[in-house]
Structure 1
Amino acid sequence: MRVLMIQTPSVEEISQERVYPIGIVLLAGLLQSHGHEVDILDMNLERDPFGALKEKLLAFQPEAIGLSLRNIDPLGNKTSSLIAPFIVTVRFIAAVLPQAKLIVGGTGFSLFPERLMLELPELDYGIVGEAEVSFPALLRSINNPPPMPGLCLREGSRVHVSPPATNFDMANYVPANRLLLDPALYQGINNYVPTIGIEAKRGCALNCAYCVYPQLQGKRLRCRPTTAVVDEMELLHKDYGIQSFHFTDPVLNVPHGHLEAICEELLRRKLKVRWDGFLREDQLNDKNVALYERAGCECFSFSPDGLCQESLDVLGKNLSEAQILKAANLVAQTDVVSVYHFMVNVPGETEKTCEKSIQFVERLYEMHSKKKNLGTIILNNIRILPGTKIEKIARAQGVIDSETDLLYPTYYNPKPFSAFRYKLETIQQCRNVFMWQGVE
């Protein structure tokens, strides 16, 4: 079967940061090993994405098309949505090649599978969550598929969504076949985000109030063998000249020992690459921070989210202010840049917690002032996603109601502190500019 894998628009415009679509490339390689003829299109690379799509459809004439909806919106407090270009893509394909089977997946789709299937009758099937097993199985029985994990199919006027698979054995993980989509196309196109991702594990055992990772990947951590992770990095470095990688794991340094083993292997092979990923603060110590730096960490990325203990507790972070500040003190002594992500106006915000938040931002800049290695502090309101604790809180408080459409950008940001983020951003940006320019 001829199968075209498409990364649908996942950035607002061509100038935005883009990443190599390892999900669809991985699946394309898997389908190829099952005897299918495959091709790939990343619409985010094209200056005329729909012109490129039409050309690819007519030239390749796929019998089945796998669509990845990675992002539903750009996040970062923005109110623009990526649903409209996705809908246009689906309808465009159905108009150009009405006989092709359309199958949709991706993180964005997995958050709203029933809603999107009902809104787009052009879609034949969907797959929620991991697709390594379900996608090839679906293609084998495309006209009458049996029950399988994550499958979304129509039953009359309704859509049935099977629970996603969360048990794929990462020891069987086959890296994306980069011959199917040249990484060189992504070299140098971003300003600060590494374009090439590496998946070292799946699953997250944490219970953060706003997060959907445990829903989509399960709570059990499934780690790839560390030598296999480094093999992939080495191949990409030697064959394609890739210098910088982003680990896509929900939390990179959990469980303890896995990232450490990756770093030891990088050092053993003398592999001169750079990498980053989101780190858990309470897992850091003098020894592993030094190891990460020696092994090529180019950015300590943190998402503690709460700017005071009250916020940390509401967000279910299972962290203390002291643990965050201890981690900050450790990384502030390195020659590596650090970036922190926090959420503002969380449930229970008061004048007192606002003042504590300001003081916390100031303390982070004070810690990093000597080395001037605080890249930035990113401040966001909470994007409300279905099935999260934040959604329940927002409904109970009347911030959202039964008519609120969470498919489109919806943030938890009620009065009287709805403008507090702007005050914090002013403080943060002022401190950032003064720090980098050496002005007291």
Structure 2
Amino acid sequence: MRILFVQAISTETTTSEMVYPIGIVTLATVISNLHTVEILDLNIEQDPFKALKNKIYQYNPEVVFMSLRNIDPLGNKMTSLIPQFITSVKMINILNPTTTIIAGGTGFSLFPRKIMELLPEITYGIIGEGESSILPLLNNLDKPNVKGLCYRKGEDIIVTSPSMEFDMEKSYIVPDRSLLDVTAYQDNSYVQSVGVETKRGCPFNCSYCVYPKLQGKKLRCREPNDVVNEIEFLRKEYGIERIHFTDPVVNIPNGHMESVCESLIRRNIDIKWSGFFREDQIDGKNIDIFAKSGCECFSFSPDGLTQEAMDVLGKNMNIEDVKNAARLAAQTDIVSVYHFMINVPGETEETVKKGINLIDWIYDVHSKNKNLGTIVFNNIRIYPDTPIYDIALEKGVIRSTTNLLYPVYYNPDPYENLRYELEGKHFCKNVFMWQEVNI
């Protein structure tokens, strides 16, 4: 069977930082011995829809798997990526009406019912992990019975429970990057474009986050040496110099990432890497291991600028944990980036002052080595089935009829402009720090 995997448009423009689509390449790898597969990433095409049209005509796929990774660009932007996805699906159906269209990806998994209601051209959807379900689905397209399937039954759309049990230690298949040229993704100036998974799942209860819904709460880890084998292959075979660990949190459970890094050091693999770190899991010993193994950026996401905010966001962490991680990171030569959410429920004049004090403290602690990359401020993107959704509904920020498929942020009066004020303060401090202008 001829299968075409298409990565839907995931950024606002084709000039944005590109990310190698590890998800569809992994699924293509799973079936590549049994089916003929090709992959098209619309994000790296100069004219995405022309490329899609040509591929449908030339390849004439029997099945098209459409991966929707992002429903919008986040970062406080009101742009939706759903219109481009709609256009792609409808174009495939018009050009080849007999093609079976299967949707999947993170974005689809968040809103499977709404997306299938929008697009009757989609026959099936895969919710959550697809490694276990894709082959059984392809082998029985007329009447599939697989976990994580979204399908039509008469006028109804049936949404089953997502698949979140894939054994990452015993069953993980390293994506075959020869199926999609990985070297086309090495021109990014900021984001590491090539991702490597070390685990799936997140045990925490952050009130805004969808990771537990997508991957489950149980941590499922790969064997550290298998991770390092993949990294070594990327370095030697493709000349990849920088990678990003795609885990929701890179430094849990305790000891797992440390084992990966110790193996990188022991095998003398020259690689630069980044990931999102849990601050209360950082100590003097493991931060040294991370640094020696090639970490080039500590991405911290404490999210709350105050203890009050962190408590509302369900971080289960203290401000002192954040400060301790910042102190340790500031003593290294590695860049640190901090992500905070602004105008969280319960914001007051007092919490605003506390937040500004923390921003100033972060600049001060990084001033000696000048290794503060940036501080990112975002409002909270509201997703269904999260505690923040319930708070927003209770406070009248949204209604029960609000369509969250499109960008909706928690940002009520009277602090709806707080993010801009903090960005102005931060931008001045950041520029002046590098230009050695005292303020």
Give the distance between the partners of 2:341 and 2:400, measured in 1 at CA: 25
1:109-143 deviation line (CA, Å, top 9, x unaligned): 00000011111000000000000011111000001
Report the CA distance between 1:435 and its aligned residue: 1.1
Give the distance between the partners of 1:229 and 1:30, measured in 2 at CA: 18
Q: What is the correspondence of 1:411-430 to structure 2 with a 5 Å cutoff?
A: 411-430=409-428
Aligned position for 1:233:
231
8 Å CA contact 1:278–1:300 kept in 2: the answer is yes
- Aligned to 2:122, what secondary structure does the other structure show? coil
Q: What is the correspondence of 1:10-21 to structure 2 with a 5 Å cutoff?
A: 10-21=10-21
Aligned counterpart in structure 2 of residue 157 of structure 1, from 155, 158, 165? 155
1:38-78 deviation line (CA, Å, top 9, x unaligned): 00000000011111111111111110010100000000000
Aligned position for 1:81:
80
Q: What is the correspondence of 1:79-228 to structure 2 with a 5 Å cutoff?
A: 79-146=78-145, 148-171=146-169, 172-188=171-187, 190-228=188-226
- Aligned to 2:150, what secondary structure does the other structure show? strand
- Aligned to 1:342, what secondary structure does the other structure show? strand
Give the distance between the partners of 1:331 and 1:187, measured in 2 at CA: 27
8 Å CA contact 1:332–1:371 kept in 2: the answer is yes
8 Å CA contact 1:68–1:106 kept in 2: the answer is yes
User: Normalising by the residue count of structure 1, what TM-score does the alignment of the two structures yield?
Assistant: 0.99
8 Å CA contact 1:204–1:213 kept in 2: the answer is yes
* Equivalent AA in structure 2 for residue 42 of structure 1: D
Report the CA distance between 1:262 and its aligned residue: 0.4
Aligned position for 1:244:
242
8 Å CA contact 1:204–1:214 kept in 2: the answer is yes
Give the distance between the partners of 1:185 and 1:402, measured in 2 at CA: 43
8 Å CA contact 1:253–1:259 kept in 2: the answer is yes
- Aligned to 1:170, what secondary structure does the other structure show? coil
Aligned position for 1:61:
60
Q: What is the correspondence of 1:341-420 to structure 2 with a 5 Å cutoff?
A: 341-420=339-418
Is it true that 1:43 corresponds to 2:42 in the alignment? yes
Q: What is the correspondence of 1:291-302 to structure 2 with a 5 Å cutoff?
A: 291-302=289-300
1:293-334 deviation line (CA, Å, top 9, x unaligned): 000000000100000000000000011111100100000000
- Aligned to 1:6, what secondary structure does the other structure show? strand
Report the CA distance between 1:402 and its aligned residue: 2.2
1:180-219 deviation line (CA, Å, top 9, x unaligned): 011111121x120011000110000000000000011000
Aligned position for 1:261:
259
8 Å CA contact 1:118–1:158 kept in 2: the answer is no
User: Normalising by the residue count of structure 2, what TM-score does the alignment of the two structures yield?
Assistant: 0.99
Aligned position for 1:431:
429
8 Å CA contact 1:129–1:164 kept in 2: the answer is yes
Report the CA distance between 1:434 and its aligned residue: 1.0
Give the distance between the partners of 2:184 and 2:232, measured in 1 at CA: 19
* Equivalent AA in structure 2 for residue 256 of structure 1: N
8 Å CA contact 1:210–1:388 kept in 2: the answer is yes
**What is the root-mean-square deviation in Å for CA atoms of aligned residues?**
0.6
Aligned position for 2:9:
9
* Equivalent AA in structure 1 for residue 16 of structure 2: Q
Unmatched runs of 5 consecutive residues or more in structure 1:
none
Report the CA distance between 1:403 and its aligned residue: 2.6
Give the distance between the partners of 2:319 and 2:265, measured in 1 at CA: 33
* Equivalent AA in structure 1 for residue 302 of structure 2: P
* Equivalent AA in structure 2 for residue 292 of structure 1: F
Give the distance between the partners of 2:27 and 2:110, measured in 1 at CA: 20
How many pairs does the alignment contain? 437
* Equivalent AA in structure 2 for residue 121 of structure 1: P
* Equivalent AA in structure 2 for residue 59 of structure 1: Q
Runs in 1 of length 4+ with deviation above 3 angstroms?
none
Aligned position for 2:272:
274
* Equivalent AA in structure 1 for residue 27 of structure 2: L
8 Å CA contact 1:308–1:321 kept in 2: the answer is yes
* Equivalent AA in structure 2 for residue 354 of structure 1: V
Query: What percent of counterpart residues are identical?
Result: 55
